[in-house]
Amino acid sequence: MNQIMQLKVLEGRKAVDVYREDHCQLHSKPWHKGITEEHTPLLNKLLSELEKQGFNSLQEFWDTSEELNIQELGFEFREDFQAKASKSEREALQRMWQ
C-alpha cells in the first residue's frame, strides 16, 4: 500500500472514530421515537467522509484498513499473512484498529 493510500485510511479511521463517538452520545440518552432519524445523518456524514478519501463503500474502507493492519504486522499482502501468520500474529490482528 502506498503512502497516499495509508493517509486516506488514517483519515477514514478518524471519521469512523468521530462516528463512533457521536453514535455513543446518541445512544447514551434513553430510547425515543426519533432516534432512527437522528442516526441517519451520523451515518451519512461517515459515508461522505469516506467517499472524500476515495472509498466507494464502508466495506471497501474496512478491507483497505485491514490491509494496512496486516502490513503494520510486517506482511506485504493479505495472502502472505494468511499463508504465514502465526497464531499470535492472527490474535494481534484481531486487537488492532477495527
Axis crossing angle, helix 35-52 with helix 3-27, rounded to the nearest 10 = 170
| Cα–Cα distance for residue pair 50/17, rounded to 1 Å | 12
In tens, the pLDDT along 8-31 reads: 999 999 999 999 999 999 988 888
Q: What pLDDT is attached to residue 34? A: 81
For 57, other C-beta atoms within 10 Å of its C-beta total 11
Residues 11 and 20: beta-carbon distance below 8 Å: no
Contact 64, 11 (CB under 8 A): no
Q: Which residues contact 39 (CB under 8 A, 6 or more apart)?
A: 23, 26
The residue ranges of every structural domain in the chain are: 3-95
Residues (pLDDT < 70) of the chain are none
